[in-house]
């Protein structure tokens, strides 16, 4: 029996991420189709002079359809594409409960990208670490998170550290003098 190779771990994580994307697409796509179909049915029945049920329900259904459709399309787009790589310093590191069912873990890199990571990867890094993240850009789902050394010239989230500014000196022409 041989030791697991680093490529094997990446392939396993990629398979897990793709399974999560398939699960997301299987949940949100039927909800999108049902809410969009229901909204269109109500709109057509209202336009055709139906029972005068009003426009509140179709508007609510269209809003729900757009939210479900967004989630479904992002997952379907990511399933067709390949993950991307981004590097940066972790400026925020947090977890939160989603819909009282699951706990999601997030990382914000250089105040620009927020990615969702699994629990193990979340526990291996902390705020201030420089990491490279392989992720799916539509759903911002991380495949791998690896700590790295900072590139030359990068001292943190703000880039290279600058010397502190000198305190301002008063303008001699504006100083009131007592003669």
Comparing 96 with 165, the larger pLDDT belongs to 96
Return the residue matching tokens 């001292």: 155
pLDDT of residue 56: 86
Per the CB < 8 A criterion, the answer to whether 141 and 133 are in contact is: no
Q: What is the C-alpha to C-alpha distance for residues 144 and 131, in angstroms, rounded to an integer? A: 10
Identify the CA nearest to 83 among candidates 41, 137, 145.
137
Calculate mean pLDDT across residues 89-104. 83
Is the pLDDT assigned to residue 92 strictly greater than 80?
yes
Beta-carbon neighbour count of residue 2 at 10 Å?
A: 5
Whether residue 50 has pLDDT greater than 80: no
- The 10s digit of each residue's pLDDT in 5-15 is 666 888 998 99
Q: What is the mean pLDDT of residues 82-111?
A: 86
Mean pLDDT of the region 149-164: 61
DSSP secondary structure letters along 160-174: SPPPPPPPPPPPTTT
Please tell me the predicted confidence (pLDDT) of residue 25: 94
Name the pLDDT band for 3 (thresholds 50, 70, 90): low
């Amino acid at each position: 029996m041989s030791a697991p190779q680093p490529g094997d771990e990446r392939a396993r994580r990629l398979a897990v991420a793709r399974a999560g994307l398939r699960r997301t697409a299987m949940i949100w796509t039927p909800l999108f189709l049902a809410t969009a179909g229901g909204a269109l049915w109500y709109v057509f029945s209202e336009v055709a002079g139906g029972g005068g049920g009003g426009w509140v329900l179709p508007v609510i259904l269209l809003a729900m359809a757009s939210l479900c459709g967004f989630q479904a399309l992002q997952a379907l787009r990511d399933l067709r594409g390949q993950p991307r790589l981004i590097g940066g310093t972790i400026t925020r590191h947090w977890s939160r409960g989603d819909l009282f069912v699951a706990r999601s873990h997030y990382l914000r890199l250089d105040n620009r990208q927020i990615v969702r990571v699994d629990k193990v990867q979340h526990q291996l890094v902390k705020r201030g670490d420089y990491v490279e993240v392989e992720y799916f850009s539509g759903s911002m789902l991380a495949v791998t998170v690896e700590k790295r050394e900072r590139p030359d010239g990068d001292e943190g989230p703000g880039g290279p550290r600058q010397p502190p500014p000198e305190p301002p000196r008063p303008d001699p022409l504006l100083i009131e003098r007592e003669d």
